[in-house]
Amino acid sequence: MNLLVNIDHVATLRNARGEGYPDPIEAAEVCEKAGASGIVFHLRGDRRHIRDEDVYRLKESVRGTLDFEMAASDEMIDICTDIAPHLCTLVPEGREELTTEGGLKMKSVIDDYKNRVFPKLKETNIEISLFLDPNPEDIELAAELGADAIELHTGTFANADPQKRRHELTRLRKGAKLINELGMKVNAGHGLNLDNLPDLLETVPHLHDVSIGHALISKSVYWGLEKTVKAYLEIMEDYA
Ligand SMILES: CC(=O)[C@@H](O)[C@H](O)COP(=O)(O)O
Ligand SMILES: NCC(=O)COP(=O)(O)O
């Protein structure tokens, strides 16, 4: 099981003053030296945090897994195929959203992905992951498309009130088992933190990559990045 650190919000802080500091690429190096297996970034269409130049520098500097999160636009597909990361995670993207609000709705994208998106990405060796809610129908359509992995959206679990957390964990558990049965890698991410991660790892099987960003970067403001990454790794080692 791998920790991938999402450094989007180092770029958020960098952009606040526009003077190049803190540097997301330096943050990525610190995370990998602390033991993270790789780095995730989301190059959004509005470039609100990660910028194109960050992506090309990350390609040169990241030693572990590089996960390029993106909407399935022609623009992003062109940049992704030029960068050739290990992994491309296709996510829904809304300009007005504060952050990603849910997984892809496979019924509404399946034809476009089958006819445009996957043929372009499949010309490369980039692994294709789809960011999905733990809905069996979406997971089965993703397998039909030939996705290599599914990243389970854990935001509903992370934001659930105590009465609903168990139900959301059960959905994620069933989703992970189906993904594995269909021969795809099980990844997970969104809204995970030091408090809710143990419940997820205790309940959800077959996890390959766990992507954590906002909570980890936020905690590092108090603890420092190295100590924070190691705190997440310590939890994950208990469930390896
Ligand atoms: C797909 C997902 O849950 C996150 O990786 C996504 O990048 C969140 O977007 P922001 O980083 O802009 O909050
Ligand atoms: N895909 C999830 C991710 O990369 C990080 O999400 P978050 O921890 O910033 O919510």
pLDDT in tens, 31-52: 999 999 999 999 999 999 999 9
Q: Which residues contact 47 (CB under 8 A, 6 or more apart)?
A: none
Quick one: how far is CA 41 from the chain centroid?
8
Q: Which of 99, 133, 212, 218 to mutate to test the pocket of ligand 1 (most atoms within 8 A of CB)?
A: 99
Please tell me the distance between residue 42's alpha carbon and the centre of ligand 1 in angstroms: 6
Q: Quick check: CB of 91 below 6 Å from ligand 1? A: yes
Which fold would CATH assign to domain 2-237?
TIM Barrel (3.20.20)
Q: Name the helix (H) or strand (E) containing 182.
A: none
Query: pLDDT tens, 88-119?
Result: 999 999 888 888 889 999 999 999 999 999 99
Domain boundaries, the chain: 2-237
Residue 172: how many other CB atoms lie within 10 Å: 25
**Residue bearing the CA closest to ligand 1, atom 6:** 100
Ranges in the chain, pLDDT < 70 = none
Give the global pTM: 0.97
Q: Which residues contact 167 (CB under 8 A, 6 or more apart)?
A: 160
